[in-house]
Protein backbone atom coordinates (compact mmCIF):
# COMPACT_ATOMS: atom_id res chain seq x y z
CA UNK A 1 0.00 0.00 0.00
CA UNK A 2 1.32 3.45 -0.92
CA UNK A 3 2.32 5.69 1.96
CA UNK A 4 -0.49 8.08 2.87
CA UNK A 5 0.19 11.82 2.94
CA UNK A 6 -2.17 13.73 5.22
CA UNK A 7 -2.26 17.49 5.83
CA UNK A 8 -4.13 19.08 8.71
CA UNK A 9 -4.88 22.78 8.26
CA UNK A 10 -5.92 24.91 11.24
CA UNK A 11 -6.61 28.63 10.94
CA UNK A 12 -4.96 30.79 13.59
CA UNK A 13 -7.60 32.34 15.94
CA UNK A 14 -9.93 32.30 12.92
CA UNK A 15 -12.87 34.49 14.02
CA UNK A 16 -10.54 37.02 15.61
CA UNK A 17 -8.28 37.00 12.55
CA UNK A 18 -11.21 37.86 10.27
CA UNK A 19 -12.27 40.69 12.60
CA UNK A 20 -8.73 42.13 12.72
CA UNK A 21 -8.44 41.85 8.96
CA UNK A 22 -11.71 43.72 8.39
CA UNK A 23 -11.03 46.31 11.12
CA UNK A 24 -7.28 47.00 11.34
CA UNK A 25 -7.86 49.13 14.47
CA UNK A 26 -8.27 45.85 16.39
CA UNK A 27 -4.88 44.47 15.36
CA UNK A 28 -2.15 44.40 17.97
CA UNK A 29 -4.57 44.88 20.87
CA UNK A 30 -6.19 42.25 23.11
CA UNK A 31 -9.49 41.38 21.45
CA UNK A 32 -11.99 38.55 21.43
CA UNK A 33 -15.10 37.44 19.61
CA UNK A 34 -18.04 36.57 21.83
CA UNK A 35 -21.00 37.71 23.87
CA UNK A 36 -21.32 40.77 26.07
CA UNK A 37 -20.01 40.46 29.67
CA UNK A 38 -23.21 41.94 31.10
CA UNK A 39 -25.39 39.35 29.31
CA UNK A 40 -23.64 36.18 30.43
CA UNK A 41 -21.71 36.05 27.18
CA UNK A 42 -19.01 33.50 26.39
CA UNK A 43 -15.74 33.95 24.49
CA UNK A 44 -15.78 32.13 21.13
CA UNK A 45 -12.14 32.87 20.34
CA UNK A 46 -9.52 35.53 20.99
CA UNK A 47 -6.27 36.78 19.52
CA UNK A 48 -2.85 35.93 20.90
CA UNK A 49 -2.52 39.28 22.67
CA UNK A 50 -5.59 38.34 24.75
CA UNK A 51 -4.31 34.82 25.35
CA UNK A 52 -1.24 36.30 27.01
CA UNK A 53 -3.58 37.48 29.80
CA UNK A 54 -5.08 34.01 30.21
CA UNK A 55 -8.21 34.61 28.11
CA UNK A 56 -9.43 31.40 26.46
CA UNK A 57 -12.27 30.07 24.32
CA UNK A 58 -15.43 29.03 26.20
CA UNK A 59 -14.53 31.36 29.06
CA UNK A 60 -17.25 33.62 30.47
CA UNK A 61 -16.83 37.10 28.96
CA UNK A 62 -17.19 38.65 32.42
CA UNK A 63 -14.22 36.63 33.68
CA UNK A 64 -12.21 37.42 30.54
CA UNK A 65 -12.61 41.16 31.16
CA UNK A 66 -11.42 40.69 34.74
CA UNK A 67 -8.27 38.98 33.48
CA UNK A 68 -7.75 41.58 30.74
CA UNK A 69 -9.38 44.93 31.60
CA UNK A 70 -8.45 46.39 28.20
CA UNK A 71 -10.07 43.53 26.28
CA UNK A 72 -12.23 44.50 23.29
CA UNK A 73 -15.06 42.03 22.65
CA UNK A 74 -16.84 42.11 19.28
CA UNK A 75 -19.98 40.22 18.40
CA UNK A 76 -19.49 37.29 15.99
CA UNK A 77 -20.30 37.70 12.27
CA UNK A 78 -20.87 34.13 11.16
CA UNK A 79 -21.72 35.09 7.59
CA UNK A 80 -18.24 36.57 7.21
CA UNK A 81 -16.62 33.50 8.76
CA UNK A 82 -18.59 31.12 6.52
CA UNK A 83 -17.60 33.11 3.44
CA UNK A 84 -13.91 33.01 4.39
CA UNK A 85 -14.18 29.28 5.15
CA UNK A 86 -15.67 28.67 1.70
CA UNK A 87 -12.79 30.54 0.07
CA UNK A 88 -10.28 28.41 1.98
CA UNK A 89 -12.13 25.25 0.89
CA UNK A 90 -11.78 26.41 -2.71
CA UNK A 91 -8.01 26.63 -2.23
CA UNK A 92 -7.97 23.07 -0.84
CA UNK A 93 -9.83 21.82 -3.92
CA UNK A 94 -7.00 23.09 -6.12
CA UNK A 95 -5.01 20.11 -4.79
CA UNK A 96 -7.45 17.34 -3.83
CA UNK A 97 -11.11 16.41 -3.46
CA UNK A 98 -10.34 14.30 -0.40
CA UNK A 99 -11.15 16.98 2.17
CA UNK A 100 -12.68 16.38 5.60
CA UNK A 101 -13.82 19.64 7.23
CA UNK A 102 -13.90 19.50 11.03
CA UNK A 103 -15.26 23.03 11.46
CA UNK A 104 -15.20 26.35 9.60
CA UNK A 105 -11.49 26.78 10.34
CA UNK A 106 -10.06 23.26 10.36
CA UNK A 107 -9.79 20.37 7.89
CA UNK A 108 -7.88 17.25 6.90
CA UNK A 109 -6.63 16.79 3.33
CA UNK A 110 -5.43 13.54 1.80
CA UNK A 111 -2.89 14.47 -0.88
CA UNK A 112 -1.47 10.98 -1.35
CA UNK A 113 -2.36 10.95 -5.06
CA UNK A 114 -1.70 14.63 -5.73
CA UNK A 115 0.86 15.12 -8.52
CA UNK A 116 1.56 18.81 -7.93
CA UNK A 117 5.02 19.68 -6.59
CA UNK A 118 6.10 16.15 -7.52
CA UNK A 119 3.73 14.78 -4.90
CA UNK A 120 5.46 16.57 -1.99
CA UNK A 121 2.92 17.04 0.80
CA UNK A 122 5.26 19.51 2.49
CA UNK A 123 5.40 21.77 -0.56
CA UNK A 124 1.63 21.47 -1.04
CA UNK A 125 1.11 22.60 2.56
CA UNK A 126 3.50 25.49 2.03
CA UNK A 127 1.60 26.56 -1.08
CA UNK A 128 -1.77 26.35 0.69
CA UNK A 129 -0.47 28.57 3.48
CA UNK A 130 0.90 31.04 0.92
CA UNK A 131 -2.39 31.23 -1.00
CA UNK A 132 -4.51 31.68 2.13
CA UNK A 133 -2.25 34.50 3.31
CA UNK A 134 -2.28 36.12 -0.12
CA UNK A 135 -6.00 35.80 -0.92
CA UNK A 136 -7.61 36.09 2.53
CA UNK A 137 -4.93 37.99 4.46
CA UNK A 138 -5.03 35.60 7.43
CA UNK A 139 -2.61 32.88 8.52
CA UNK A 140 -3.05 29.14 8.91
CA UNK A 141 -0.89 26.49 10.55
CA UNK A 142 -0.31 23.14 8.88
CA UNK A 143 0.78 19.68 9.95
CA UNK A 144 2.00 17.00 7.55
CA UNK A 145 2.18 13.34 8.56
CA UNK A 146 1.35 9.79 7.42
CA UNK A 147 -1.99 9.78 9.31
CA UNK A 148 -4.70 12.02 10.74
CA UNK A 149 -3.70 11.62 14.38
CA UNK A 150 -0.16 12.85 13.80
CA UNK A 151 -1.10 15.53 11.25
CA UNK A 152 -3.40 17.19 13.77
CA UNK A 153 -0.72 17.16 16.46
CA UNK A 154 1.79 18.53 13.95
CA UNK A 155 -0.40 21.50 12.98
CA UNK A 156 -0.38 22.65 16.61
CA UNK A 157 3.36 22.16 17.04
CA UNK A 158 4.48 25.54 15.66
CA UNK A 159 1.36 27.67 16.01
CA UNK A 160 0.69 30.37 15.01
CA UNK A 161 1.56 30.63 11.32
CA UNK A 162 3.65 27.48 11.40
CA UNK A 163 4.36 24.30 9.48
CA UNK A 164 5.57 21.06 11.05
CA UNK A 165 6.30 17.81 9.22
CA UNK A 166 6.51 14.29 10.65
CA UNK A 167 7.98 11.94 8.06
CA UNK A 168 7.35 8.17 8.18
CA UNK A 169 10.93 7.66 9.37
CA UNK A 170 10.40 10.08 12.27
CA UNK A 171 7.11 8.64 13.53
CA UNK A 172 8.48 6.11 16.02
CA UNK A 173 10.87 8.50 17.78
CA UNK A 174 8.38 11.41 17.75
CA UNK A 175 5.52 9.41 19.25
CA UNK A 176 7.69 7.75 21.90
CA UNK A 177 8.26 11.09 23.63
CA UNK A 178 4.69 12.32 23.19
CA UNK A 179 2.66 12.89 26.39
CA UNK A 180 -0.29 10.47 26.50
CA UNK A 181 -2.57 13.45 27.17
CA UNK A 182 -1.96 14.47 23.53
CA UNK A 183 -3.40 11.23 22.14
CA UNK A 184 -6.64 11.50 20.19
CA UNK A 185 -9.58 10.64 22.44
CA UNK A 186 -7.67 10.88 25.74
CA UNK A 187 -9.57 13.27 27.99
CA UNK A 188 -8.87 14.34 31.54
CA UNK A 189 -10.37 11.22 33.13
CA UNK A 190 -8.33 8.82 31.00
CA UNK A 191 -5.17 10.92 31.35
CA UNK A 192 -5.56 10.92 35.14
CA UNK A 193 -6.05 7.17 35.20
CA UNK A 194 -2.97 6.63 33.04
CA UNK A 195 -0.96 8.87 35.35
CA UNK A 196 -2.06 6.81 38.36
CA UNK A 197 -0.80 3.75 36.48
CA UNK A 198 2.57 5.46 36.01
CA UNK A 199 2.04 6.26 32.33
CA UNK A 200 2.73 9.83 31.22
CA UNK A 201 4.48 9.37 27.88
CA UNK A 202 3.90 7.02 24.97
CA UNK A 203 7.12 5.08 25.49
CA UNK A 204 5.71 4.03 28.86
CA UNK A 205 2.37 3.12 27.29
CA UNK A 206 4.19 0.89 24.79
CA UNK A 207 5.34 -1.29 27.68
CA UNK A 208 1.73 -2.37 28.29
CA UNK A 209 0.51 -5.41 26.34
CA UNK A 210 -2.54 -4.85 24.16
CA UNK A 211 -4.74 -7.18 26.25
CA UNK A 212 -3.76 -5.43 29.48
CA UNK A 213 -4.85 -2.09 28.02
CA UNK A 214 -8.16 -3.61 26.89
CA UNK A 215 -8.74 -4.93 30.41
CA UNK A 216 -8.10 -1.50 31.90
CA UNK A 217 -9.83 0.70 29.31
CA UNK A 218 -12.23 -1.56 27.45
CA UNK A 219 -12.41 -1.17 23.67
CA UNK A 220 -10.48 2.12 23.91
CA UNK A 221 -7.47 0.13 25.10
CA UNK A 222 -6.96 -1.14 21.54
CA UNK A 223 -7.00 2.44 20.30
CA UNK A 224 -4.48 3.49 22.96
CA UNK A 225 -2.15 0.68 21.91
CA UNK A 226 -2.27 1.73 18.25
CA UNK A 227 -1.80 5.43 18.90
CA UNK A 228 1.15 4.80 21.21
CA UNK A 229 2.82 3.16 18.21
CA UNK A 230 1.85 5.99 15.84
CA UNK A 231 -0.85 3.95 14.07
CA UNK A 232 -4.09 5.51 12.82
CA UNK A 233 -5.87 3.99 9.82
CA UNK A 234 -8.85 6.38 9.78
CA UNK A 235 -9.40 7.62 6.23
CA UNK A 236 -10.08 11.23 5.32
CA UNK A 237 -13.88 11.29 4.97
CA UNK A 238 -15.00 13.79 2.36
CA UNK A 239 -18.70 13.02 2.88
CA UNK A 240 -19.24 14.91 6.11
CA UNK A 241 -22.62 13.57 7.26
CA UNK A 242 -24.37 14.88 10.34
CA UNK A 243 -24.10 12.75 13.47
CA UNK A 244 -26.81 14.53 15.47
CA UNK A 245 -29.21 17.45 15.56
CA UNK A 246 -29.74 19.53 18.70
CA UNK A 247 -30.92 22.80 20.18
CA UNK A 248 -29.60 24.53 23.29
CA UNK A 249 -30.05 27.78 25.17
CA UNK A 250 -27.96 29.78 27.62
CA UNK A 251 -30.11 31.59 30.18
CA UNK A 252 -29.58 35.15 31.41
CA UNK A 253 -30.26 33.96 34.96
CA UNK A 254 -29.16 30.59 36.33
CA UNK A 255 -31.93 28.01 36.65
CA UNK A 256 -31.72 27.23 40.38
CA UNK A 257 -33.24 23.75 40.54
CA UNK A 258 -34.68 20.83 38.59
CA UNK A 259 -38.29 22.13 38.43
CA UNK A 260 -37.11 25.40 36.84
CA UNK A 261 -35.13 23.35 34.29
CA UNK A 262 -38.13 21.18 33.50
CA UNK A 263 -40.20 24.32 32.82
CA UNK A 264 -37.83 25.23 29.97
CA UNK A 265 -37.89 21.76 28.44
CA UNK A 266 -41.12 21.87 26.32
CA UNK A 267 -39.94 24.83 24.26
CA UNK A 268 -36.56 23.18 23.61
CA UNK A 269 -38.20 19.90 22.57
CA UNK A 270 -40.62 21.73 20.24
CA UNK A 271 -37.74 23.54 18.53
CA UNK A 272 -35.82 20.27 18.23
CA UNK A 273 -38.79 18.58 16.54
CA UNK A 274 -38.97 21.41 14.01
CA UNK A 275 -35.31 20.88 13.15
CA UNK A 276 -35.72 17.11 12.90
CA UNK A 277 -38.66 17.63 10.54
CA UNK A 278 -36.40 19.58 8.17
CA UNK A 279 -33.93 16.68 7.79
CA UNK A 280 -33.96 14.83 4.49
CA UNK A 281 -35.13 11.22 4.32
CA UNK A 282 -31.58 9.80 4.35
CA UNK A 283 -31.46 10.34 8.13
CA UNK A 284 -33.29 8.33 10.77
CA UNK A 285 -33.50 9.82 14.30
CA UNK A 286 -32.07 7.55 16.99
CA UNK A 287 -31.07 8.05 20.63
CA UNK A 288 -32.34 11.18 22.40
CA UNK A 289 -29.89 13.08 24.61
CA UNK A 290 -29.77 16.06 26.94
CA UNK A 291 -26.91 18.41 27.76
CA UNK A 292 -26.64 20.35 31.02
CA UNK A 293 -24.01 23.01 31.74
CA UNK A 294 -23.93 24.10 35.37
CA UNK A 295 -23.14 27.56 36.71
CA UNK A 296 -19.49 26.62 37.30
CA UNK A 297 -19.16 25.58 33.60
CA UNK A 298 -18.95 21.88 34.41
CA UNK A 299 -21.25 19.97 32.08
CA UNK A 300 -22.72 16.55 31.39
CA UNK A 301 -24.46 14.85 28.48
CA UNK A 302 -26.77 11.89 28.90
CA UNK A 303 -28.38 9.74 26.18
CA UNK A 304 -30.47 6.57 26.17
CA UNK A 305 -30.79 3.85 23.57
CA UNK A 306 -34.37 2.81 22.86
CA UNK A 307 -35.97 5.83 24.51
CA UNK A 308 -38.77 7.67 22.74
CA UNK A 309 -38.28 11.20 21.44
CA UNK A 310 -41.14 12.63 23.48
CA UNK A 311 -41.32 15.16 26.30
CA UNK A 312 -41.53 12.52 29.02
CA UNK A 313 -38.34 10.79 27.85
CA UNK A 314 -36.45 14.09 27.81
CA UNK A 315 -37.82 14.89 31.29
CA UNK A 316 -36.45 11.60 32.61
CA UNK A 317 -33.06 12.17 30.97
CA UNK A 318 -32.89 15.73 32.31
CA UNK A 319 -33.68 14.53 35.82
CA UNK A 320 -30.81 12.03 35.71
CA UNK A 321 -28.41 14.53 34.15
CA UNK A 322 -29.25 17.24 36.68
CA UNK A 323 -28.62 14.79 39.52
CA UNK A 324 -25.01 14.41 38.35
CA UNK A 325 -24.31 18.01 39.39
CA UNK A 326 -27.21 19.21 41.50
CA UNK A 327 -26.14 22.83 40.96
CA UNK A 328 -27.73 25.89 39.30
CA UNK A 329 -27.82 25.55 35.52
CA UNK A 330 -26.73 28.13 32.92
CA UNK A 331 -27.35 26.09 29.74
CA UNK A 332 -29.79 23.38 28.67
CA UNK A 333 -29.71 21.42 25.44
CA UNK A 334 -31.71 18.58 23.91
CA UNK A 335 -30.90 16.56 20.81
CA UNK A 336 -31.06 13.28 18.97
CA UNK A 337 -28.38 11.09 17.41
CA UNK A 338 -28.83 10.39 13.70
CA UNK A 339 -28.53 7.15 11.78
CA UNK A 340 -27.51 7.32 8.12
CA UNK A 341 -30.07 5.27 6.18
CA UNK A 342 -27.68 5.08 3.23
CA UNK A 343 -25.50 2.63 5.13
CA UNK A 344 -28.49 0.25 5.28
CA UNK A 345 -28.71 0.34 1.48
CA UNK A 346 -24.97 -0.16 1.12
CA UNK A 347 -25.08 -3.22 3.39
CA UNK A 348 -27.93 -4.77 1.39
CA UNK A 349 -25.97 -4.23 -1.81
CA UNK A 350 -22.88 -5.79 -0.21
CA UNK A 351 -24.69 -9.01 0.68
CA UNK A 352 -26.68 -9.20 -2.53
CA UNK A 353 -30.42 -9.07 -3.19
CA UNK A 354 -32.83 -10.15 -0.48
CA UNK A 355 -35.27 -12.88 -1.60
Domain identity same for 160 and 184: no
pLDDT at 353 exceeding the cut of 80:
no
Could you give the residue ranges of the DSSP H alpha helices within the chain? 14-22, 48-51, 61-67, 78-92, 121-136, 148-155, 171-176, 188-196, 202-205, 210-217, 220-228, 258-277, 311-325, 341-350
Under 8 Å between Cβ of 330 and 295: yes
* Residue 79, burial from CB neighbour count under 10 angstroms (0-12, 13-18, 19+): exposed
CA 312, chain centre distance (Å): 31
Q: State the DSSP code for 100.
A: E
335 in a structural domain:
yes
105 in a labelled binding site = yes
Query: Which CATH number is 190's domain given?
Result: 1.10.150.20
10 in a labelled binding site = yes
195 in a structural domain:
yes
The lowest-confidence range among 102-106, 132-136, 194-198, 347-351 is 347-351
pLDDT at 137 exceeding the cut of 70:
yes
Q: What is the pLDDT of residue 344?
A: 54
Distance CA 21, CA 15 (A): 10
pLDDT at 110 exceeding the cut of 50:
yes
Domain identity same for 140 and 120: yes
Q: What is the pLDDT of residue 213?
A: 92
Domain identity same for 72 and 142: yes
Domain identity same for 177 and 132: no
**More confident call, 281 vs 354:** 281
Domain identity same for 1 and 134: yes
Domain identity same for 253 and 140: no
Q: Which domain holds residue 340?
A: 244-344
351 in a structural domain:
no
Domain identity same for 130 and 276: no
pLDDT tens-digit series, residues 257-282:
999 999 999 999 998 998 888 777 77
Distance CA 146, CA 112 (A): 9
User: Among 139, 166, 193, which residue terminates a domain?
Assistant: 166
User: Among 124, 147, 166, which residue terminates a domain?
Assistant: 166
Which residue, 147, 142, 157, is CA-closest to 106? 142
354 in a structural domain:
no
pTM, full prediction: 0.70
238 in a structural domain:
no
155 phi/psi in degrees, rounded to 5: -65, -20
36 in a structural domain:
yes
Domain identity same for 75 and 145: yes
Domain identity same for 22 and 93: yes
Which residue numbers are catalytic?
A: 106
Q: State the DSSP code for 113.
A: T
Distance CA 319, CA 128 (A): 49
Total domains in the fold of the chain: 3
pLDDT at 188 exceeding the cut of 90:
no
Under 8 Å between Cβ of 164 and 132: no
Domain identity same for 121 and 256: no
Amino acid sequence: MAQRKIIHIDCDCFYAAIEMRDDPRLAGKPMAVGGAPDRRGVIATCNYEARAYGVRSAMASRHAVKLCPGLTIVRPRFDAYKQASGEIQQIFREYTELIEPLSLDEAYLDVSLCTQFDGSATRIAQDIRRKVAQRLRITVSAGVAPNKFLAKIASDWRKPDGLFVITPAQVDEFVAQLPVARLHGVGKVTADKLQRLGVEQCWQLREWPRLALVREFGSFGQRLHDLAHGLDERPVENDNRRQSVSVENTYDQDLPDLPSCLEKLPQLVDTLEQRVARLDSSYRPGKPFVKVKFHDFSQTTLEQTGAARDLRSYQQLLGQAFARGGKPVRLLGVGVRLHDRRTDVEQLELFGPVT
